[in-house]
Structure formats: structure tokens, C-alpha cells
Amino acid sequence: MPQPSDTPIDRTLPYLMTCVFTVFLVTGAALPALPLHIHDDLGFSAFTVGLVSGAQFAAALLCRLWSGTISDRRGPRFAVIAGLGLAVLAGLLYLASVMTAGDPMLSIAILLIGRVLLGGAESFIMIGAQSWCLSLAGSRTVGKMIAWIGTAMFVALALGAPLGSFLYATWGFSSIGWATLAGATATWLLIVAVPPIRPAPQRRKATKQVLKAVWVPGMAMAFSSLGYGIMTAFAVLLFVQQGWQPAWLSFTAFAVALMVARVFFGPLPDRLGGARTAMIFIVIHSAGLALIWLSPCAWLAFVGSSMAGFGYALVYPGLGMEAVARTPAEARGLAMGVYTAFIDLALGLFAPLLGLLANVIGLSQIFLITALLALCAVPIAAWLRSHPGPRIP
């Protein structure tokens, strides 16, 4: 954790990390439970699992520019509180979905809406927290701040996976709904006590500059994030299918390795440069996904999950540095929103398609396909390194 200090960023960062941690803890609890609930309890196929999982990313995509603009204009605190309100509604819809489980089509429809709202919540909370940190931090610690907020998210996801497995096995999917509702409410009570910051004055051309500057690092992030989407949607199903137990450890290993990499190597993008760091870690991430595909036994598959998480750890902050460095200071929320939207676009489109493909060629094969797609980000990152571009004041 960051060391205590009297600076505004060090006073505010623990609150923001706690906020992100709590919300994504309940989000992570749904990761092992959601595929099993949809497949086993409601009787739907892997395609439906991918569709419902991808709906969260698609909704987050639609909210990225909106959440970034609101964060810049109304302040990041307002964006975070709005996201928490959406998370509360998502928890209520999870409970309504369980209550209508006797009608699987109605239940899955309500669950789909809940996932859509949770995607919007994720967008507002993450973009608000990131832009809050970037507004308080100096330009020399951009990568570090992005990494710290992301670390809180993945620590929560790592702990959420075994928590979700326990809750689902003990009380069923309704417990996930109650956890989501309680977590979002408790976090709202925490964040309303944090003083807001004044938004920076806006320039009319900021949006156009952001869109022009961010699309290249965004494309690289889209390719390299497919592995994260596959791990969240299909890793548990693959490990159950192969008899590799405990299946929830597949994503927990991914998240724990990511956390370790960010704790020990978090400042690396600020030292080596964002693009160079991303190139190195994309290769590690891709190798981990390929190892899962090749694995003949459980322990090797868990090693592959860990490698994939370790590699993914510094891709987002590394390429995020490249995005922020090319955009105006008063539009950092919008920049992070546009940048992250490329992840949601890739996952929202490809998660259902890869689920449909898994029905034809098998679950393990899509891990190889995703590993190859991730490598497409390497030449893009290399181009960014050789074309740093002017920093916009």
C-alpha cells in the first residue's frame, strides 16, 4: 500500500482504493458463480454464458465516454457516487432474477439487465477513481497511480473468486445479489465522506484531441485484453471440464499474479516508458494463455493462469501512460474513458463470438486463439515507442 503522507493524493488514494476494492470484491464473487448458475441452474449453453458475461463489457463500453465526460465536468466524486447507485440496482436485479428462476427466459433477461447496470457501474467507478488520482498526482507518477487503482480491483477479484464459490455453494446465486447490494451500499457511505475536487476548465477541442490521440494505444489494449475476458468468462468452465480443481483458483491465480506484478513492478512504466513495458508484458501474458491450452495437468494450467495474470499486469498502465501523455490535462477522465472503451469493445464483441466458437472447437482452443490475438498488440506498442508524439499541455 502507498505510504501515509500529508499530500492530497496520499490522503485520498486509500479511500479510492477501498471503494474500488469493495465494489470489485462483489463483482469478483460473481465470476465463478455466474457461469455455473447460467449453465447448470438455468440450463443455458456456453454461448449464453458468453453473451451475459459480455453484456457487462458492452454496457461499460457505452458508458465510458459518458462517465469520462461527467467526471471531467461534474468532478470524479460525482461519477463514483453515480456508479455506486448503479451497482445497488444491479444487486437488486440479481435477487429478482433468482426469484423468477422458475421461468428461465425471464430470469436470464433480468440477469442480463443486471449485468448491463453493473457494467455501467464499473465504468463510472473506475473512470472516476482514475481521473481523481490523476488530478491529484504529478505527471511523473501517472503509470503508478493507474497501477494502484487497478491493483485494488484485481486484489478484490482474486479474493472474490473463492468468496463467490463459497457463497454460491452454500446459499446459491441469491447470496451474490445480497453481497452486491451490501457492498455497494457500504462503499457509498465511505465515499460520500471524501471531499470533492474542483473540475478543471474545459476546452472545446478537448474531445477531438482525445479521440485522435487515444485510438492507437486503445487498439493495442483491445487485442491484449481478450485474454482477460476469456479468463473471466470461460476459465472456470474449462477447469471444471478438465477436472482441474479447485476451478476457482484459475482466476484467483491470474489475479494474485497480477497483484504481485503491480506491487513489485508498478513503477516500471514510469521508468522504462509505457510502450516498452507493455511490449514485454504482452509476450508474457500471451505465453501464459498458450500454456493453459497446452496443459495436460492441473498444476501446469495454474502456472499458465499465473503467467497470464503477471503479463497482463502492466499492459493497462503502460499503454494508459501513452494515452494520457497525448491528451490535455483537463480531459484525463475522458482520455481514460476512451482508452478503456477499447477493452469493452473488444470483450463485448468477442466474448459471445468466442463462446459460440467454443461450442464448435472446444473451450481449450479459444485460449490459443486469444494468445495469438494478444500478440497483435506488440507491433502497435512498438510503433508507439518509436512515435512518442508531442505532449499536449
User: What average pLDDT does the chain have?
Assistant: 82
Kindly state the average pLDDT of the residues 2-9: 54
Query: Cβ neighbours of residue 263 under 8 Å, at least 6 residues apart?
Result: 151
1 pLDDT band (50/70/90 cuts)?
Answer: very low
**Distance, CA of 127 to CA of 264 (rounded, Å):** 24
Phi-psi region of 172 (alpha: psi -120 to 50; beta: other; left: phi over 0): left
**Distance, CA of 369 to CA of 76 (rounded, Å):** 38
| All three cell numbers of 208 | 477531438
337-391 residue pLDDT tens: 788 778 777 777 777 788 788 888 888 888 999 999 999 999 999 998 887 755 4
**Distance, CA of 224 to CA of 220 (rounded, Å):** 6
135 pLDDT band (50/70/90 cuts)?
Answer: confident
140-187 residue pLDDT tens: 666 667 777 777 877 787 788 788 888 988 898 899 999 999 988 988
Is 355 contained in some domain?
Answer: yes
| All three cell numbers of 238 | 474449462
Say if residues 344 and 64 touch (Cβ distance below 8 Å): yes
CATH code for the domain in which residue 339 is found: 1.20.1250.20
Kindly state the average pLDDT of the residues 197-205: 59
Which percentage of the chain shows pLDDT scores above 70? 90
318-337 residue pLDDT tens: 898 888 877 776 677 778 77
Kindly state the average pLDDT of the residues 296-305: 90
For residues 153-168, one letter each, b for 16 or more C-beta atoms within 10 angstroms of the residue's C-beta and e for the rest, the string is bbbbbbbbbbbbbebb
241-274 residue pLDDT tens: 888 888 878 888 888 888 888 888 878 887 888 8
In the predicted structure, residue 31 carries a pLDDT above the cut 60: yes
**Distance, CA of 164 to CA of 171 (rounded, Å):** 10
For residue 199, the model assigns a pLDDT of: 62
297 C-beta neighbours (distance < 10 Å), count: 10
Query: Of the given ranges (4-8, 73-77, 158-162), which has the lowest mean pLDDT?
Result: 4-8
State the DSSP code for 40.
I
In the predicted structure, residue 65 carries a pLDDT above the cut 50: yes
Cell 499536449 -> residue:
392
For residue 304, the model assigns a pLDDT of: 93
Q: Which residue has the higher pLDDT, 279 or 61?
A: 279
Is 1 contained in some domain?
Answer: no
Q: Residue 173 phi/psi, 5° resolution?
A: -70, -20
85-123 residue pLDDT tens: 999 999 999 999 989 888 889 989 999 999 999 888 888
Q: What is the DSSP string of 59-126?
A: HHHHHHHHHHHHHHHH-HHHHHHHHHHHHHHHHHHHHHHHHTTTSHHHHHHHHHHHHHHHHHHHHHHH
Is 18 contained in some domain?
Answer: yes
Is 235 contained in some domain?
Answer: yes
Nearest of 187, 197, 18 to residue 86 by alpha carbon: 187
| Upstream peptide bond of 199 is cis (omega within 30 degrees of 0) | no
| All three cell numbers of 289 | 494463455
* Residue 310: its H or E element: helix 298-312
Say if residues 345 and 221 touch (Cβ distance below 8 Å): no
| All three cell numbers of 120 | 455501467
Residue 302 belongs to what domain range? 8-386
Kindly state the average pLDDT of the residues 185-201: 76
For residue 288, the model assigns a pLDDT of: 95
State the DSSP code for 41.
I
For residue 230, the model assigns a pLDDT of: 85
Using a cut of 0.85, tell me whether the model's pTM lies above it. no
Is 392 contained in some domain?
Answer: no
Radius of gyration for the alpha carbons in the chain, expressed in angstroms and rounded: 19
Kindly state the average pLDDT of the residues 289-317: 91
**Distance, CA of 288 to CA of 358 (rounded, Å):** 19
The domain total for the chain is 1
**Distance, CA of 268 to CA of 274 (rounded, Å):** 8
Is 221 contained in some domain?
Answer: yes
For residue 181, the model assigns a pLDDT of: 92
Q: Residue 364 phi/psi, 5° resolution?
A: -65, -30
For residue 133, the model assigns a pLDDT of: 77
Is 139 contained in some domain?
Answer: yes
Q: What is the DSSP string of 108-137?
A: HHHHHHHHHHHHHHHHHHHHHHHHHHHHHS
Kindly state the average pLDDT of the residues 285-305: 92
Say if residues 229 and 121 touch (Cβ distance below 8 Å): no
Is 393 contained in some domain?
Answer: no
**Distance, CA of 273 to CA of 366 (rounded, Å):** 31
